[in-house]
Structure 1
Amino acid sequence: MSRRVLGAVLLAVSGVLAVLGSFLPEYRAVGLDPSGGFSVSVTAWEVTVSPPADGIGSTPQLGVPLVVAALVLAAAAGLVALPEHQRSAARYAAVGGTGLLLGAVASVLAVAVEFVSDGGDQLAGRSFEVGLWVLLLAPVVAGFGTVLIHAPRAVAGSGPVVHVLDDLDDDDTSTPPFGIAVSRPDVVVLPESSPGEEKP
């Protein structure tokens, strides 16, 4: 498997991780209520309270930028199949998708940290869940994929291949690869005449 194909696979995997992580619980808490306890589970799309309780706010719709980033990364993975002179579109899409995914995951992380660190007096036992770890893994995979699809491809030369061998026992390095060595003719250097001197 070439580096470009591996990079395209990693971009597609990062998009799948982003979508999957957006639907998994990212952080959870157990609520304390005079009438009984309740649990709060938060994804990138909704807040689920069981049983329903008052005073629990809603979460921003952070799943939208995650899905958009996943679509851009999937498009970048598909554009890798283009010819070499058109493949810059895949590189730009990969960089843009990775940046968008990184920003979306940073937003989710900021909301999760704020929720877990200061969730109010009614919430106890706050913890991060598997969805957040999946989302944190997605931009790392996308970064590796972006680096791999930027790898230059070795282009074979169109002309004949000439191998010049340098034999240590035979110091005949002046002979061209194809042909016979041509000895340089002797050069006669005439003495310079001083001004006013008559030439013979």
Structure 2
Amino acid sequence: MDDQDLNDARVRRKYLSVAWLSAAGVAVLVVGMIIGSSLDAEPATPLADRPPTSPQVQPATAPPESTAPLRPGVTYLADLPPVDSSSIDDMYVESPWTAASAKVRKVQYTKSVSATGAWCSSARLTFALDGKYARFTAQVAIADNSLATKELDFYVLVDDQRVAEVPNTGTTPQPVDVPVAGARLLTIGVEPPPEEPSGCPGPERVGVWTDPALTTS
């Protein structure tokens, strides 16, 4: 082998060595990147071992609401203007009556008529019927927002005659069903029971007529 061939062989060996070292370096770099990525990644957790996620917050459930039906032949006292309102105590309250939503036993009644007071005497609310209706229905009770839950007496007058009474009514609703065919006036009333001490002012209570309705037939 002459000097030229010897030099060419040395160059080839040097080139192959450099190429092998470069390829080995690239392989080591790739392996290192793979190992690093696997170390950084969060280890997989079996589904059964994963902590439970926080429950979704559910919107607050509204209280049940009465469905006062708007149908032909039904008129609610809450939608009628009264022709007379007597006070529980004329010295302190002009009128104890309100027509608004009221809650009884956690049920919201949207067409209620309520009387609030210390109940030294009777309170009445009168409506003109003019012979247009056949029946008056309602439920009566002490409202959930009463400061006291002692009983009250509820009553109905038709043309100034007392025709129905629901005595000693507490927080449990009691039905009222009165025929009013041909009647001119309807009066609903609330008063303290006769046996209640007459000291005034008495405990503050809210007597509710829930969804009181007049029907034509």
- Structure richer in strand, relative to its length: 2
Bin of the TM-score, shorter chain as denominator length: under 0.3
Normalized against structure 1, the TM-score is what? 0.19
Larger Rg: 2
Query: 1 or 2 for the larger relative contact order (CA 8 Å, sep ≥6)?
Result: 1
TM-score, with normalisation over the residues of structure 2?
A: 0.18
* More helix by percentage: 1
